[in-house]
Amino acid sequence: MSQSTDSRARSFDDASAVEPLGDGRFLADIDAGWSAPTAANGGYLAAIVVRAIELHADPLGLRRLRSLTLHYLRPAGAGPLELQVELVREGRRISNVRVRATQDGREVLSALAALAVPDLPAAGTWLLPPPVVAAAPPRRAPRITADRWRRDDDAHWLALFDGAPAISHRVQLAPRFGGVPFSGRELPPGEGPEAGGWITLPEPHPVDAAYVALCTDVWWPPGFEPLDRPAVAPTIDLTIHFRADIPPAGLPDQPVLGWFRSTTARDGLVEEDGLLFLGDGTLLAHSRQLAIFMPVD
């Protein structure tokens, strides 16, 4: 697997691929084209971890990834990333997996995951209705700049400014929630910031577990909108609960709707809760993360 040498991004599948080395060891190649402002994006790293878990703990695709919690210990940069995957327990219904990832001999993330057999007996069922928003634009729809954007625009994707994080240019975004980052909008009493909208890749791709992991962290943080100056929010930990039955080959290619909200920013930390839906209302995932919340200067 060749090392990335510049910021020209490879495709999502290529950039998130893992190479088995035996004994639960895998090698990935971090692509700088999928980075956030300070390092490799947390959702992108989560996608790589998902690939390694599926290959080691469920090579026959008999179980479904249901829970993944990642702690980001150090920034991960471009180049080789080594992963050690351990099947801690394989029960009749649930498998538990531990992952440790290192770069240049230093641990950069630690993760725990749970996989479950499909069709677990259900004691009850209730579902959150999806938010009502305008439909996603066609994949080949043109892009328009933020100053011309309307929340009900179903014919365009958002054109991001050149200085946006590299990963933002690897996906297509159509905002449906929140406003412009760093606009300084004063929040009404009792209201927290929100962000999100439709997400898709430039080329068709199944909605598999790795792609869902990416989508949980690909949008700009909702906490950026009420600020009047640039800030960064590197993730401390990210938990993803996969709520749909996502087979190994993934669900059919389609846009994903991400809805991200925050209730509390204090003491230099901010939390973010996310919901991912398909266009038919299927809930794909819950996500929750805690991030450092600090000004650029």
Tokens of 142: 């043109």
Residue 4: predicted pLDDT: 39
Q: What is the mean pLDDT of residues 159-164?
A: 87
Residue environment code for 206-241, b if the CB has 16+ CB neighbours within 10 A, otherwise e: bbbbbbbbbbbbbbbbbbbbbbeeebbbebbbbbbb
Question: 41-98 pLDDT, tens per residue?
Answer: 999 999 999 999 999 999 999 999 999 999 999 999 999 999 999 999 999 999 999 9
Residue 209 has pLDDT above 50, yes or no: yes
Confidence of residue 161 (pLDDT cuts 50, 70, 90): confident
Residue whose entry in the numeric block shows the structure tokens 């993330």: 109
Identity (one letter) of the amino acid at 280? D
Least confident of 63-67, 96-100, 179-183, 220-224: 179-183
Residue 180 has pLDDT above 60, yes or no: yes
Residue 37: predicted pLDDT: 87
Can you name the CATH fold of 12-116? Thiol Ester Dehydrase; Chain A (3.10.129)
Outline where the chain has alpha helix (H): 12-15, 42-57, 209-215
Residue 217: predicted pLDDT: 98
Is residue 122 within 8 Å of 93, Cβ to Cβ? no
Confidence of residue 1 (pLDDT cuts 50, 70, 90): very low
Confidence of residue 7 (pLDDT cuts 50, 70, 90): very low
Confidence of residue 2 (pLDDT cuts 50, 70, 90): very low
Tokens of 274: 């996310």
Residue bearing the bigger pLDDT, 164 or 138: 138
Residue ranges of domains in the chain:
12-116, 143-295
Which CATH number does the domain 143-295 belong to among 2.40.160.210, 1.10.3720.10, 3.20.10.10, 2.20.25.10? 2.40.160.210
Residue 75: predicted pLDDT: 96
Residue 193: predicted pLDDT: 97
> pTM for the whole thing?
0.95
Sequence-separated (6 or more) residues with CB below 8 Å from residue 247: 61, 64
